[in-house]
């Protein structure tokens, strides 16, 4: 589960990670109040207005601006709040900005030059251990750094038996070229960051940039926190940070019905039991000349109620020109699923798009008969190849 930058920073701060301070606001007036309060708290005289959406690259889309006066805070906040922010990660449709973070200016001049680093914490799947990945090249797209200057990306793996060891935190600070107070601050920062990662059951932390200020403080200027959804049951406080406005409304609705649905851009909808078979069915659609309109796993109990809900969800997408139902009945009997499909079809009433139903497994022949004798505009198949062929015919 993703959370906003302002929430991520609050979470990190709770574990002693130094951050760029800020106050969130949802109107220009509140933004000005936030700016005033922030000046009292931090002494900042400039402010950064940052759009709060669940996507990176906000600066590139015009969602992050520097304000040098309270008037500018108001002006920029009015512009950013309510804007449809398009970034490389939002897709062309963009995302509506509902909140801005008014943050302190941390690039103030001072005794030393500020420096930006990159730091993330994540699972190394091949070893089953967490790693801290970091780079001297902060403030830019890390994938570009990995491509152009891979030698500037460092990794530190954490042994789960011991946790992060002091020498590892020191090594990170040394590799980032730090000394004196900045070195000490970085060691503290790394320790607090890793503790926060463990204690929150996160699946990704990305801090880009980590800033060394001109007075040798180390702070998180941006923060991306991704929480392990499987662990949210033990963190009700973190689950409360979910912002459903950031999610696709149809996906939210599907989730409430316990359907695993992901909206895609294609023209052929699909309904499948099992995640792997669902992905494979999307691939079949593509090979048959279509594009998948969604991923949808109905799970182990494909009864009439769930099938109907799934149909209704798929049909919400106006781009859907055909639907492929692919169920491998194991413990679930295909004839039951077929009856469920027929009932759902009748209940919905006015389905205009062709539906191809492929039922394989227990009682597949009986299922095919039920579909064929229903008199509905439904094509049936038993073999996957047959189903693919029918998708091709329907699209032709």
Partner 1 sequence: MSVLVNKKSKVIVQGFTGGEGTFHAEQMIAYGTNVVGGVTPGKGGQTHLNKPVFNTVSEAVKNTGANVSIIFVPPAFAADSIMEAAEAGIEVIVCITEGIPTKDMIQVKEYLKGKNSRLIGPNCPGIITAEEAKVGIMPGFVFKKGRIGIVSKSGTLTYEAADQVVKAGLGISTAIGIGGDPIIGTTTKEAVELFMNDPETDGIVMIGEIGGGMEAEAARWIKENNRKPVVGFIAGQTAPPGRRMGHAGAIVGGADDTAAAKMKIMRECGITVVESPAVIGKAMAEKLSVKA
Residues that bind partner 1 (CB under 8 A): 89, 123, 125-126, 128-130, 143, 160-161, 198, 201, 203, 228-231, 233-234, 260, 262, 264, 266, 272-287, 291-292, 295, 297, 328-331, 360-362, 383-385, 387-388
Q: What separation in angstroms does the CA of 94 have from each of 60, 62, 100, 141, 149?
A: 13, 12, 16, 19, 31
Cβ(210)–Cβ(118) below 8 Å: yes
CA 316 to chain centre: 22
Nearest residue (CB) to partner 1, 112 versus 260: 260
Nearer to partner 1, 22 or 329 (CB): 329
Is the Cβ of residue 20 or residue 273 nearer to partner 1 in the bound state?
273
Catalytic residues: 118, 206
Of the candidates 364, 267, 379, the one whose C-alpha atom is nearest the C-alpha of residue 319 is 267
* C-beta of 70 vs 122, nearer to partner 1: 122
Nearer to partner 1, 130 or 191 (CB): 130
Residues 218, 238: Cα–Cα separation, whole Å: 25
The number of C-alpha atoms within 13 Å of 205 and in the hemisphere containing its C-beta is 31
For residues 313 and 256, the answer to whether their CB atoms sit within 8 Å is: no
| Collapsed DSSP state (helix, strand, coil) of residue 388 | helix
Of 213 and 267, the one with the shorter C-beta distance to partner 1 is: 267
Cβ 390 to partner 1 shortest distance, Å: 12
Cis peptide before 209 (omega within 30 of 0): yes
Minimum gap (Å) between residue 115 Cβ and partner 1: 26
Cα separations (Å) of 131 from 110, 260, 334? 33, 30, 46
Q: How far is the CB of 380 from partner 1 (least distance, A)?
A: 16
DSSP strands (E only) in the chain: 22-25, 47-51, 64-67, 84-85, 95-96, 100-104, 115-124, 129-135, 153-157, 202-212, 218-220, 224-227, 260-263, 268-272, 294-297, 322-329, 355-361, 378-381
Please state, in angstroms and rounded to a whole number, the distance separating the CA atoms of residues 152 and 142. 10
Instruction: For the CB of residue 272, give the shortest distance to partner 1 in the complex, in Å.
Output: 8
Residue 262 CB, nearest approach to partner 1 (Å): 6
Inter-residue contact 103 to 47 (CB < 8 Å): yes
Q: Which lies closer to partner 1 via its Cβ, residue 184 or residue 235?
A: 235
- b/e per residue, 146-178, with b = 16+ CB within 10 A? eeeeeeeebebebeeeeebeeebbebbbeebeb
The CA distance from 16 to 18, in Å, is 6
Rounded least distance, CB 263 to partner 1, Å = 9
CB of 269 to partner 1, least distance (A): 13
């Amino acid at each position: 589960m993703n959370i906003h930058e302002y929430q991520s920073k609050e979470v990190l701060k709770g574990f002693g990670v130094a951050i760029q301070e800020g106050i969130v606001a949802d109107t220009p007036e509140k933004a000005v109040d936030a700016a005033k309060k922030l000046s009292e708290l931090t002494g900042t005289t400039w402010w950064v207005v940052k759009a709060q959406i669940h996507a990176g690259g906000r600066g590139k889309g015009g969602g992050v601006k520097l304000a040098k006066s309270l008037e500018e805070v108001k002006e920029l906040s009015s512009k950013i709040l309510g804007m449809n922010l398009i970034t490389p990660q939002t897709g062309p449709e963009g995302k509506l900005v509902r909140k801005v973070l008014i943050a302190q200016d941390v690039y103030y001049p001072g005794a030393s030059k500020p420096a930006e680093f990159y730091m993330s914490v994540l699972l190394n799947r091949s070893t089953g251990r967490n790693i801290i990945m970091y780079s001297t090249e902060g403030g830019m797209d890390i994938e570009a750094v990995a491509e152009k200057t891979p030698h500037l990306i460092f990794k530190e793996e954490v042994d789960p038996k011991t946790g992060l060891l002091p020498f590892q935190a020191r090594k990170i600070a040394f590799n980032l070229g730090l000394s004196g107070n900045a070195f000490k601050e970085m060691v503290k920062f790394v320790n607090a960051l890793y503790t926060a990662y463990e204690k929150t059951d996160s699946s990704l932390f990305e801090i880009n940039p980590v800033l060394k200020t001109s007075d040798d403080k180390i702070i998180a200027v941006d923060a991306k926190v991704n929480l392990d959804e499987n662990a949210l049951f033990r963190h009700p406080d973190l689950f409360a940070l979910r912002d459903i406005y950031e999610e696709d409304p149809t996906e939210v609705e599907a989730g409430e019905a316990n359907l695993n649905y992901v909206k895609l851009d294609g023209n052929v909808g699909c309904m499948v039991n099992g995640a792997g078979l669902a992905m494979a069915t999307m691939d079949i659609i593509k090979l048959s000349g279509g594009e998948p309109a969604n991923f949808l796993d109905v799970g182990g109990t494909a009864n009439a109620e769930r099938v109907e809900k799934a149909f209704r969800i798929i049909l919400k997408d106006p781009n859907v020109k055909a639907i492929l139902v692919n169920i491998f009945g194991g413990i679930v009997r295909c004839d039951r699923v077929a009856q469920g499909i027929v009932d759902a079809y009748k209940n919905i009433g006015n389905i205009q798009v062709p539906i191809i139903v492929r039922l394989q497994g227990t009682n597949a022949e009986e299922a095919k008969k039920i579909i064929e004798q229903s008199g509905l505009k439904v094509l049936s198949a038993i073999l996957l190849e047959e189903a693919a062929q029918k998708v091709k015919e329907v699209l032709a």
